[in-house]
Amino acid sequence: MVLRPVRMAKVGLFGLREDEERVLTVLHDLRVAQVEPLRPEAMAELAPERGSETLRRVGDETLRFRGLLSALPRTGMTTPRRFDSLSEIFRAAESVPIDAEVGELKREDDRLLTEKKATQDTVELLEQLSFYPERLEYLRSANYLTFFGQAPADAFGEVEHALPPEADARFLLGPAGETVRFLVITRPAGAEALSRAAQGHGVRLVAVPALRGTPTEELVERRARRDAIDRRRAEIDERLRTIAGAWYPTVAAIDEALEIENRKAEVLAKLGASRATFALEAWVPQRDVDRLRSVVAAATAGRVHFYDVPTPEEPPTLMSNPRGVRRFEFFIRFYSLPQATEWDPTLVFAIVFPIFFGFMLGDWGYGLVILLISLWMIAGFPGARFLPKFGRNFVKMIMGPRGMQQLAYALLPGCALAIGLGLVWDEFFGFHLLHLLFGYASPLDPASKAGVPILLLFAGYVGLGMVVLGFAFGALKEYFHHRRRGVLGKFGGILFAFGVAFFGLAVIHRQYSLSNPLFDLYLVLLAVGLGLLVFGEGIQMGMMGLIEVVSHILSYTRLVGILLASVILALVINTIGSGLVYGGAVVGVIAGIVILLVGQTFNVILGVFEPGIQGARLIFVEYFSKFYSGNGRAFRPFGAPRTHTLSSIGPDGRVVAEPFVQGPPT
């Protein structure tokens, strides 16, 4: 059911120790069971599963092959391999003889990379020292220190004047220009004063390297060494690629097999065992219980006892929504994961949030811009490197790339609705563009005297609908948890919500005569709703509930408030900017264009944040508060996808054997 998390069941397995490895393989490859620590009453009859000394070797081999895999260049597609036992994995690991050569090559490459970095820094420094014609060894002495620096002319002058006389600094200047390159020589006692003066004016000093020849001679030698390093690194890379061509598939398969064994070892701590038996318990989606039972039975020839575990524990939560709706699970997880026994609000959020967003935006110009930005985010931010650095850092500070993509997907339907409403209302960056071009007269101008009351009435009905829907889900939740007073309290909230809404409308339209049957009905709804709320929730919570009903319904009028704020802000920007542009003066035209660009950009940013934040808030606070508890724990099944290995358990649960294949020679 889309509106509920997947129903979970807790199951137990009890079998022979000889089948333990096979059962764990089944659980790993099916990925439908979240293994839990064995209950204390069951553990009282067994002992914790400690594993064997073999696991230490698994850990050692895992580190070894993880290092090999990171050192070898990745090759193309590989054929998955099957390992039918842990001993077979060890035999395959022993057949790989490349550790020494690969390790030596990687160490040499790392050493060369470090040397290249130092050499490149020296080359860049020597290129800056081209103005010094003498041998560099003349700049070395036990009695003085030599530094190279470059700075804007004014900063250099400030550093020079900031040095105290005791620094006894001597400067050798390069060619004149906006940037001054210089050598400064000082006694060791004056080095601290020189450093303070340079740092105080943002000038970086670099110690002159201990070289013998002239900058030109040393530059030739360092460049030659840099090229030699590049050639040797290319040879190392070629050799590693050759080794990878022969051994990467084997190394990748063994590494994955060992990772799986490590995951099994982590699960062992949750099992119970005796000398001949083992036991485990796990949460499994109800829909997968029969499949898991049949596969385990087939894999162990029926030797494992599979049973249900009755428990009052709260199950882990696994949400199951259609693909399009699943995009909005991001928002639900951001707020709080639902408990497994309550409603999953993702579907309602996926329907309502885009409507709120599009309504509050209500401009087809802004909607089109945000739509294009969203598509750019979904595409992975192509060309983002050309953006200003502060802009990139600001975006990263808000949310990671994955989160930004999920947000972009969620904004797409809202942008489409904003474009549609903007065309109907004739709002294009605050201009009535369709009226100017085609004489189109909008049937509803959001900022007009006639439009505002209609939109406020619409927002009020939306608020009434959302509050009533929240109470309805709350009543069903109370019913499923067998809390009848809670059901009455939520039903009272529904009656009171209808009563207060229609009572308010009657007062506004001056239809509050006691002789009016409808007005009497509204009073009855208020009285009965009040009584049921107080009865179901208690006096304190019931009275607070009454206040919340009124405030939450009225809170939805912010839909119109955000819309009007955007429309009016755009109107102000356009009025000021257009007035300056049409004024005719050059300065006024430039200022008007700047105001239009900056102001509309600012309004676009507000068009993302305000409708997005306020739309989500209306759902999280005014709607969720009627039924949603949250704080669920995510369902995390044991296992992971296989890429380089094949399961030794076939689809029918039977062991699939395959002869061990020796790895290729070097």
Does the pLDDT value for residue 138 go beyond 80? yes
Cα-to-chain-centroid distance, residue 649: 35
- Could you report the per-residue pLDDT of 442-470, keeping only the tens digit for each? 888 887 888 888 999 999 999 999 999 99
Provide CATH 3.30.70.2750 ranges for the chain.
Answer: 112-227
With 0-12 CB in 10 A as exposed, 13-18 as middle and 19+ as buried, what is 46?
A: middle
**Planar angle of CA 138, 141, 145, nearest 5 degrees:** 100
As a three-state string, the secondary structure of 260-287 is HHHHHHHHHCCCEECCCEEEEEEEEEHH
The arithmetic mean of pLDDT across residues 276-285, rounded, is 94
Does the pLDDT value for residue 47 go beyond 70? yes
Query: Which of 235-244, 368-377, 442-451 shows the lowest per-residue confidence on average (mean pLDDT)?
Result: 442-451
Between 138 and 116, name the one with better pLDDT. 116
CATH placement of domain 112-227 = 3.30.70.2750
Does the pLDDT value for residue 665 go beyond 70? no
Q: Which two tokens stand for residue 208?
A: 């002159």
> Could you give the percent of the chain with pLDDT greater than 90?
45
Does the pLDDT value for residue 481 go beyond 50? yes
Backbone angles phi, psi at 449, to 5 degrees: -60, -35
pLDDT band, very low/low/confident/very high, at 658 (cuts 50, 70, 90): very low
Neighbours of 346 (CB within 10 A): 25
pLDDT at 1: 60
Q: Residue 380: left if φ>0, alpha if ψ -120 to 50, beta else—which one?
A: left
- Could you report the per-residue pLDDT of 581-630, keeping only the tens digit for each? 887 788 888 898 999 999 999 999 999 889 999 999 999 999 998 999 98
- C-alpha 284/C-alpha 290 separation (Å) is 10
The amino acid sitting at 480 is F
CATH placement of domain 8-49+269-308 = 3.30.70.2170
Does the pLDDT value for residue 394 go beyond 90? no
The arithmetic mean of pLDDT across residues 106-128, rounded, is 93
Does the pLDDT value for residue 664 go beyond 60? no
DSSP three-state, residue 173: strand
Q: Which two tokens stand for residue 27?
A: 């659980």
**Helices 99-128 + 215-268 axis angle, to 10:** 140
pLDDT at 176: 79
Provide CATH 3.30.70.2170 ranges for the chain.
Answer: 8-49+269-308
pLDDT at 386: 66
The amino acid sitting at 410 is A
pLDDT at 654: 63
pLDDT at 101: 95
Closest CA to 329 of 315, 340, 339, 319: 319
